[in-house]
């Protein structure tokens, strides 16, 4: 399958909203997941996982990040920066996670100190990965800001 265009994704999300609204429901997505997505895949001859929930293993709670798309019957948000950072710290798999975490930490810091930022991130860590995430956070902080 070819890479989906922005327009195709928007049309598919709008259709997902139409289907939900016709059933008296409203779909709320956080970038991934969603019932009725298989219907859209069948209609457009796309793979069933065009809209997937692979990230669910890294989602703890649900932050109310900004709305990035809205149409009748559907609202799509992205997680907050703190939750995205927590997901990257919990995963901490490769250079991509580290580069993403570095960018997210820089965006989240906004003049605040280490403990304030950590307190924002901590509620979204995967249970059992808190220590690994804390070490990753400390290492990342020190590489960017020193001991401050």
Tell me the pLDDT tens digit for each residue of 76-115.
888 899 998 998 999 888 888 899 999 999 999 999 999 9
State if pTM tops 0.85. no
Task: Please give the Cα distance from 41 to 101 (Å, whole number).
Answer: 32
Q: Would you call 75 helix, strand, or coil by DSSP?
A: strand
**What pLDDT is attached to residue 18?**
94
38: tokens are 């298989």
> Other CB atoms closer than 10 Å to residue 60's CB: what's the count?
16
- Going from N- to C-terminal start, the domains of the chain cover 6-77, 81-145
Tell me the pLDDT tens digit for each residue of 32-42.
334 377 778 88
């Amino acid at each position: 399958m070819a890479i989906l265009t922005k327009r195709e994704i928007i049309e598919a999300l709008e259709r997902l909203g139409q289907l939900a609204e016709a059933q008296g429901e409203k779909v709320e997505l956080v970038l991934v997941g969603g019932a009725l997505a298989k219907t859209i895949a069948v209609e457009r001859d796309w793979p069933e996982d065009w809209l997937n929930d692979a990230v669910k293993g890294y989602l703890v709670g649900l932050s109310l990040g900004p709305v990035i798309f809205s149409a009748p019957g559907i609202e799509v948000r992205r997680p907050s920066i703190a939750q995205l950072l927590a997901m990257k710290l919990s995963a901490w798999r490769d250079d991509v996670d580290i580069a993403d975490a570095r960018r997210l930490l820089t965006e989240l810091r906004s003049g605040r100190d280490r403990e304030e930022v950590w307190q924002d991130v901590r509620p979204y860590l995967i249970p059992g990965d808190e220590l690994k995430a804390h070490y990753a956070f400390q290492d990342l902080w020190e590489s960017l800001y020193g001991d401050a």
